[in-house]
Chains A and B, each alone.
Chain A
Amino acid sequence: MNRHTQSYPRFLWTALRLSTDGSARFYVWMFLLTAVALVGVNAWAHQVAQGMELTGMTDHVSWGLYIANFTFIVGLAAGAVMMVIPAYLYDDREMHDVVIVGELLAIASIIMCLLFVTVDMGRPDRFWHIMPGIGRFNWPISMLTWDVLVLNGYLLINLHVVGYLIYMRFLGRTPDKRWYLPFVFLSIVWAVSIHTVTAFLYSGLGGRPFWNSALLAPRFIVSAFIAGPAFVIVLLQLVSRLMRLPATPGAIRTLSRVLRITVLVNLFMLASELFTIFYGGGSHAASGTYLLFGLHGKNGLVGWIWAAIALNVLSAVLLHLPASRSSYRLLNLGCALAFVGVWIEKGMGLIVPGFIPSTLHEVVEYVPSLAEWKITAGIWAFGLMVLTVGLKLALPVLKGELSASKTGSHADAGSAAE
Chain B
Amino acid sequence: MKSGVLLRLAQLLLLTSVIGAWYVLTETEVLPPFFFGKPLLVFDQIVVWFADRSIFPHLGITLLETLLAFVIGTSAGLVCGLWLALSPLAASLLDPYVKAFNSMPRVILAPIFAVWFGLGIWSKVFLGITLVFFIVFFSVFHGVRQVNPIWVASAKLMGGSRFKLLRYVYLPSAMAWVFSSLHAAVGMAFVGSVIGEYLGSASGVGYLILQAEGVFDINAVLAGIVLLTICALLLDWVVTQCERYFLRWQPAASEHSG
* A and B held together in a complex: no
> What residues of chain A have their CB less than 8 Å away from a CB belonging to chain B?
none
